[in-house]
Structure 1
Amino acid sequence: MIKYDPCEPFRAYNRLEGRPREEELEDALAAKVHDPLWMLARQYQFGELKGEDAGSAIFAKVAINTVRMTGFSKANGPKQAYSEDIPLETRVERLIPTIDLKKATQLGRKFLQILDNEGSKAPQSQSYAQGEYRKALIDKFPFSVPEISHQENASETTAKARVLSLQQATSFLRSVAGRALNGARLWDFLSGDFSKVSSLVLSANQTATTDKFIALKHKNIAQEAAKRWIAFVRKELNLPESKEENCWYPERLEYSFKTYVDEGNDGETELNAEEYFQGHLDWYSFDISKKNSSQRKTFDQNIKKREVLTMIPTEASFAGMPASRWWEMEDGSIDLGNLKASDTDIAKILVTQYALQYSNDWLSIPYDVPTGSFAEVEGVLVRDTFGLNYFVEPAHQAGNDWNDWNMYSLTVEKGEFEIPEFDKRILLPPAIARTLESDSLEEIKFIRDEMANLVWAIETRVPDGLGEALDGYEAAGNLAGLFEKMKEKAAVPDEINLPEVNLETIYNKASTYKSALKYQLGNSVSENWIPFIPVHQAGSNREIHFQRASMPRIHELFAPHAIRPRTELLRAGINELDDQNSALFINEEEVPRAGVKLTATYQRTRWYQGKIVTWYGRRKRTGRGEGSSGLRFDLVLENNS
């Protein structure tokens, strides 16, 4: 039996740690290891002592073929020569925007400057004075504030009321009316043809009028000024040559275009981007439509090139890559261990697995590929430290199962029931790395309304006339309020004479009671809700698409007339007086149950040699589900009146 001494002190040790005796940190930072067996054990634990019958790559030879893009066209348009003066996204996305009042003022001032500049270079015999035609041009292409007259019809009144409902734009019009040249009207007058300015030139011995006021001796000056001004507007707004040249297809709410690659040897590859709407163009936007014979008689050898590279391969690296040696300090800017991936995040899981397990097994051979090129690696020959040569082949071989792993290869379009093929080349389109995007000038939400059995296009943002956007509901409310102000107030009589009623009869006694219910033919929705109704496609009894319709505007001063949209997309085929010249259709599959959000913005980027490129385009995004307008017909309501 052990004798217990209650006076023995109790000792407890929480942690053992070294106690530094010096103020300097050199010895601590040296991280000296006094136990080499521990070091060997850690090396064994991390697999450093595991031998492999393989050597390190010390030499590589690569054969690469590249071929450049040579043609471009919209989906069903004529083929054009391709150039890289602007990015491919700009060439595809750019549309002709509506020139707002501020931009119209700037363009008008620019034309007057160019006209005076051309006049200053004219010989003295033409005797051109600075500002000679300023007032005449302002009178011909003015800014004017619309005035509503009760003698006008519903279409004319609505067109003017739509402008007057934009209060800030109306104030701007009043400030520049009679003082500035309207560049938008001048652009519509010329329509891209500088020779049309000749219609403003006077004939010999003709008196100046509002429509003709330029002297005959100044005809060349006016034509040269118009030519320079048109070129300036096209460059400033990055406009296509015509409305027919843009790649936008309204029935699909997306862009569609093709590019062509001249392969030489009478061969041409057609790259089809049939459904482009993401706003960023990359290799996955294309499919190989078909390979056909080229019409080019002489082949430019600079388009197609073959190079053989010889170099020492280097280890591939990326930000946050784990160190290949366990005692190295890693970059802490990226925490790969903190990645959270669910069961469906396959891409994230694969990237994480590569980064954590196989990061030091990859080698890279740098090669600069020109933009707008198809690049193919014929093969890679690698020599290791033992002098053995290895020929590296692609993971997916021709003739293998099409389900095998494959990346960066373009699908070759074939029949519906045929096994797909792949082109092993890598496409590097002349795309943009980064853009600056403005706020939405137009925003439309397409939603399905199952209760009303139609699709609504909700204009949530509409142009305010000054280069910015206005809330669609606010714009609709302002327009409705303006129509309410137009109603003439009925004269209130001084004395009301009630008819004499004999209350002794049962019928007259019952007629004095107010009914509890009332019937309403239908209610209304906000004017920024534009309906699209389902109709059968031509020649089909089963397939449908959505056709633009309209809600009626019921006003005391006019007969019921159609409510028209404000945004440029939804007004396709509608003139300024709200007359519909052509219908607008949208394919049924373009508006799923989740809906679609369509925006129109200005975008700005830099291209080669720092060139600034600006354009106006649209983008489609997924919506946020179904909705209901509350539109109902044949209503029975409580009679509270």
Structure 2
Amino acid sequence: MPDNSALLIWEKLRPIPSSNDIAEALRCEIHDPLWLLARQWQLGEFKAEDAGMAAFTHVVTTSTPLQRFMGSGQNAASTYKAEEKPINAQTEQLAPSFDLSLRLEAGRMWQKMLINANKGQAWEVFRQNPLLQFKAPSLTYESGSSELSAYSYEPYSQIVVALSNGRMVDGALLYKELQTRKASDFLPQADSVVNETGSKWVQWVNNRIGIAGPQTNTCWDAGRLEYRATISAILPDNTAATLHMPEYNGQNMDSFSWEQAIAQQTLSDGLDASQITIHRNTFIPTPVSFPSMPRARWWEFEDSTLDLSNLQARKTDLGLLLLSEFSLLYSNDWLLTPLTLPVGHLAQVRSMRVTDVFGVQSYINPVPQNENWELFQITSPAVPTPKGWLYLPPVTNHFLQSDTLEEIHFIRDEMANLVWGVEMVVPNGLGEGMDGQSAALRLESWLEKLAGNTTSTPMPDISAPFTYQIGSTVPPHWIPFIPIRPNAANEQIVFRRANMPRFVGDFAPTRIRPRTDILRSVTDEKRHYDIQEEEIPTTGITVKQAWRRARWFDGRTITWLSREKSIGRHLQSSGLQFDQAE
């Protein structure tokens, strides 16, 4: 039995600091060095490996620039130099349509070039030529007019009226004429100076505005709603290496966007082998370090901002598993050697030699890779060789972008078995974008005013319990794409652009044409526009068009017209129905 009458006494030990200085306590001094040595011996830190620390790394690399470029819509390759233009600008560049602002800019430049060439009288002849003048809009319904949709926009028609009667030369009309004629053909007699000025002006239009040229509007694959391009370079063994970009949505381009392809003769011609360069560099390697890295010595305190032991990875998280294994087991066994590679080149490490502090040299051989594991090199699904090359595309990811000029929502309509291209933003003809629905309704109202003086036959008043309607209508800015099978022997389905009818008064019915360049694309010689079925998912697709502007290596300003594709969330329905009885 316990003795409840026993006296229990507790003692509390409290350390009393002898001074206010805490530096000695923070040093955590240990007065038994043999204990530390014993712990090091137990952990195997005294086991000699007869290895020295790396002192120098000698790296020999080979680089060859990409010299030839060809888009998906080109038949011939063009010369490409990374120092002249970013590869993403080269790929994305589109040929803009001649809107009113570009027509004015081109006309002013023609005036400026003629006056600078002391040809002021020639400018008066061009200005007074009716063939090159702006035409005031006629208040009649012409279904084939290319400016019909823009006339309903009041600021556009007002500017065109102000420019008519020979006040300014229409740059689009002049550019069209100078494709087949000389500039002095508009003058009473031939003039070599005017002809030379006309050639310079056409070149300025091609370069500045980008209306024409072998590299423009050729990489956009309208049937896939993405960009495709191919580039080539010459290798040290005088063979051509071809890289292909199978799909690029206009957002981010990186080295993995390109893959090796079969060499093409059009891309192999004109490659200069003298541009191949061999680089020899010597570096001082440094240990790899990262936050919360495990310390190499057991008594060191580790950073607790990241708990590597708490990583939760599934069996399929291969990247996370590799990262955790490297961080926990091999992090202090790796050295980092920075290597600067020339941008826009194919580069390959030919040899790597490491010299330690004892003067012993070791050669680092490349890790064998196959089609299932390719790290830091271009993928080659179709071509097994050459291996070990890395491409650093000369891209500019920092650019200014204008407001959206065109925006299309591609929507699947399962009830109507259609795909709709909804023109959310359409060009206003003045170099800007405007709301597509408002523009479509304004055009319909303007056309109804033009047809206001026509007489229409009134519908008879028939009293019936039911009203039969053949089909309902959709907003004018909804362009239909119907599913068809182009080849009877192939089950592949494509969506082909169709047209909704437009009825205006007693005018003959016409087709509602798209107002955007995106939907005015064609994919075959019959002027059809077919989109592959798999490119339009259930959630829809959004395609935008805008101007981009960036600075390049030498400070030059690069401006190009680009498109960007992204996944949409367009689940609305058009409400199109047929054979309705109410």
Cα distance in 2 for partners of 1:114, 1:381 equals 60
Specify whether residues 472 and 345 from structure 1 end up closer, same or farther in structure 2 by C-alpha distance, changes over 3 A only: farther
* Match of residue 101 from structure 2: 102
Cα distance in 1 for partners of 2:312, 2:545 equals 34
Contact 1:396 1:406 in 2 (8 A): no
* Match of residue 200 from structure 1: 186
Give the secondary structure class of the aligned counterpart of 1:368.
coil
Cα distance in 2 for partners of 1:131, 1:190 equals 15
Q: Where does structure 2 lack aligned partners over 5 or more consecutive residues? A: none
Specify whether residues 284 and 491 from structure 1 end up closer, same or farther in structure 2 by C-alpha distance, changes over 3 A only: closer
* Match of residue 83 from structure 1: 81
AA partner of residue 181 (structure 1): V
Cα distance in 1 for partners of 2:341, 2:330 equals 26
* Match of residue 339 from structure 2: 367
Contact 1:260 1:270 in 2 (8 A): yes
Cα distance in 1 for partners of 2:447, 2:413 equals 28
* Match of residue 165 from structure 1: 152
Pick from 257, 262, 267: which aligns with 1:285? 257
Cα distance in 1 for partners of 2:99, 2:23 equals 67
Give the secondary structure class of the aligned counterpart of 2:554.
helix
Cα distance in 1 for partners of 2:124, 2:16 equals 94
Aligned counterparts, 1:64-75, within 5 A:
64-75=61-72
Specify whether residues 353 and 165 from structure 1 end up closer, same or farther in structure 2 by C-alpha distance, changes over 3 A only: farther
Specify whether residues 107 and 153 from structure 1 end up closer, same or farther in structure 2 by C-alpha distance, changes over 3 A only: closer
- Comparing 306-315 with 605-614, greater Cα deviation is found at 306-315
Deviation at 1:198, TM superposition (A): 3.0
* Match of residue 276 from structure 2: 304
Cα distance in 2 for partners of 1:78, 1:471 equals 39
Contact 1:266 1:296 in 2 (8 A): no
Aligned counterparts, 1:479-518, within 5 A:
479-488=443-452, 515-518=464-467
Give the secondary structure class of the aligned counterpart of 2:213.
coil
Residues 231-254 of structure 1, C-alpha deviation per residue, up to 9 Å, x if partnerless? 322332345515887222222222
Deviation at 1:115, TM superposition (A): 0.6
Deviation at 1:546, TM superposition (A): 1.6
Give the secondary structure class of the aligned counterpart of 1:609.
coil
Pick from 530, 536, 559: which aligns with 2:479? 530
* Match of residue 125 from structure 1: none
Aligned counterparts, 1:574-593, within 5 A:
582-593=527-538
- Comparing 627-636 with 434-443, greater Cα deviation is found at 434-443
* Match of residue 33 from structure 1: 27
What is the aligned-residue identity percentage? 29
Contact 1:268 1:294 in 2 (8 A): no
Specify whether residues 491 and 98 from structure 1 end up closer, same or farther in structure 2 by C-alpha distance, changes over 3 A only: closer
Cα distance in 1 for partners of 2:68, 2:79 equals 5
Deviation at 1:375, TM superposition (A): 1.3
C-alpha RMSD of the superposition: 4.4
* Residue 598, structure 1, aligned to residue 534, structure 2: no
Deviation at 1:406, TM superposition (A): 2.7
* Match of residue 143 from structure 1: 134
AA partner of residue 591 (structure 1): I
* Match of residue 503 from structure 1: none
* Residue 554, structure 1, aligned to residue 503, structure 2: yes
Q: Where does structure 1 lack aligned partners over 5 or more consecutive residues? A: 6-10, 22-26, 121-127, 204-215, 493-498, 500-510, 575-579
Contact 2:476 2:512 in 1 (8 A): yes
Cα distance in 2 for partners of 1:342, 1:459 equals 44
* Match of residue 410 from structure 1: 378
- Comparing 80-89 with 290-299, greater Cα deviation is found at 290-299
Residues 248-267 of structure 1, C-alpha deviation per residue, up to 9 Å, x if partnerless? 22222222222112124442
Cα distance in 1 for partners of 2:17, 2:117 equals 87
AA partner of residue 602 (structure 1): W
Give the secondary structure class of the aligned counterpart of 1:77.
coil
Contact 1:240 1:246 in 2 (8 A): no
Pick from 443, 455, 475: which aligns with 2:439? 475
Cα distance in 2 for partners of 1:30, 1:107 equals 80
Deviation at 1:570, TM superposition (A): 1.4
Specify whether residues 552 and 354 from structure 1 end up closer, same or farther in structure 2 by C-alpha distance, changes over 3 A only: farther
Cα distance in 1 for partners of 2:263, 2:127 equals 59
Specify whether residues 18 and 355 from structure 1 end up closer, same or farther in structure 2 by C-alpha distance, changes over 3 A only: farther
Residues 262-302 of structure 1, C-alpha deviation per residue, up to 9 Å, x if partnerless? 12444222222232334333222222222589998998554
Contact 2:420 2:478 in 1 (8 A): yes
AA partner of residue 616 (structure 1): L
- Comparing 385-394 with 278-287, greater Cα deviation is found at 385-394
Deviation at 1:468, TM superposition (A): 1.4
Give the secondary structure class of the aligned counterpart of 1:475.
helix
Give the secondary structure class of the aligned counterpart of 1:608.
coil
Specify whether residues 635 and 381 from structure 1 end up closer, same or farther in structure 2 by C-alpha distance, changes over 3 A only: same
* Residue 607, structure 1, aligned to residue 575, structure 2: no
Cα distance in 1 for partners of 2:440, 2:15 equals 76
Give the secondary structure class of the aligned counterpart of 1:412.
coil
- Count residues with an aligned counterpart: 564
Contact 2:65 2:345 in 1 (8 A): yes
Pick from 545, 556, 563: which aligns with 1:618? 563
AA partner of residue 575 (structure 2): G
Pick from 160, 167, 178: which aligns with 1:190? 178
Contact 1:410 1:422 in 2 (8 A): no
Deviation at 1:317, TM superposition (A): 5.8
Specify whether residues 302 and 314 from structure 1 end up closer, same or farther in structure 2 by C-alpha distance, changes over 3 A only: farther
Cα distance in 2 for partners of 1:30, 1:16 equals 15
